[in-house]
Amino acid sequence: MNPKENAIAVVTGAGSGIGRAVAVELLRTGWSVALAGRRVETLEETAALAPGAASLAVRTDVSRPEDVNALFAATVERFGRVDLLFNNAGTFGPGGVPVEELPYEAWRHVVDTNLNGAFLCAQAAYRQMKGQDPQGGRIINNGSISAHTPRPQSVAYTATKHALTGLTKSLSLDGRPYGIAVGQIDIGNAATDMTSRMQTGALQANGEVAPEPVMDVADVARTVRHMAELPLEANVQFATVLATAMPYVGRG
């Protein structure tokens, strides 16, 4: 896919962190991007980081089917099609809460955002990509290294990220006849507001609290763009990008 041909992306969770970094990377390299998130003002701040680029800010709660449908309708109305969905919106939920004390409402909120929201956005993108001309497109799900190995006291987040891997595989298989390529990027310790505590101290599997190294979120954004700009005949099924020295390989 050549971004100079006015490729169209939808990025969820685009108001901060990884979503913002990916959206700006795409905008600065020629993509048109629909920015989705809960707060329009933060989406507009993202757009302002790539002045002159073609963007659209759409207030979206990805856990609400009507919001997701409205997001894709607005994108198609403005840009005509969807070539890429970066399925990024997510929440860690309450940290440091033992399993037996986790409120069901907190569990449900994480599942609704991380898993149900990812499904709803993928479903809407799939419908559009299957029916558009030319047919096809790409979906990249933001997994996590927690899709492989959990942190302590992260049951809701870890369960949803494991489920995202299954979603990725199923979507990838079902999308083959329609030129819909689906992959997943698993990210470890990108420097964002969500991971700021890592540098001061994070709970380790042995019960200790220790600082962890982080990496520049721009490196994640460049990796996503690489995945996005492959021809649809090629797909990065799974990519892992992490701070080199973080305690992941051998965690525990």
Q: Which of 126, 157, 178, 248 is catalytic?
A: 157
pLDDT at 63 over 90: yes
Mean pLDDT of 9-22: 97
Length of the chain equals 252
Distance between CA atoms of residues 1 and 117, nearest Å: 26
Give the largest Cα separation in the chain, rounded. Answer: 55
pLDDT at 40 over 60: yes
Mean pLDDT of 37-64: 98
pLDDT score, position 24? 98
Give the SS3 label for residue 62.
coil
pLDDT score, position 86? 98
Question: Quick one: pLDDT band at residue 2, thresholds 50, 70, 90?
Answer: very low
CATH code for residues 3-242:
3.40.50.720
pLDDT score, position 4? 47
pLDDT tens digits, 174-225: 999 999 999 999 998 888 766 666 667 777 777 787 777 788 999 999 999 9
Domains of the chain, residue spans: 3-242
Mean pLDDT of the chain: 92
Q: Count other Cβ atoms within 10 Å, centred on residue 25.
A: 22
Q: Which of 105-109, 209-213, 236-240 has the lowest mean pLDDT?
A: 209-213
Give the residue carrying structure tokens 């302590």.
152
Residue 104 falls in the annotated catalytic set? no
- Spatial strand order in the sheet of 32-37: 55-59, 32-37, 8-12, 84-87, 137-142, 180-188, 238-242
CA distances (Å), 180 to each of 8, 85, 104, 126, 131, in order? 14, 11, 35, 7, 11
Question: Quick one: pLDDT band at residue 1, thresholds 50, 70, 90?
Answer: very low
pLDDT score, position 97? 86
pLDDT score, position 199? 62
pLDDT score, position 123? 98
Mean pLDDT of 75-94: 95
Mean pLDDT of 36-60: 98
69-93 burial, b if ≥16 CB within 10 A, otherwise e? ebbbebbbeebebbbbbbbbbbbbb
Distance between CA atoms of residues 79 and 144, nearest Å: 30
pLDDT tens digits, 19-35: 999 999 999 999 999 99
Q: Are 97 and 154 in contact (CB under 8 A)?
A: no
pLDDT score, position 153? 76
Distance between CA atoms of residues 31 and 37, nearest Å: 18
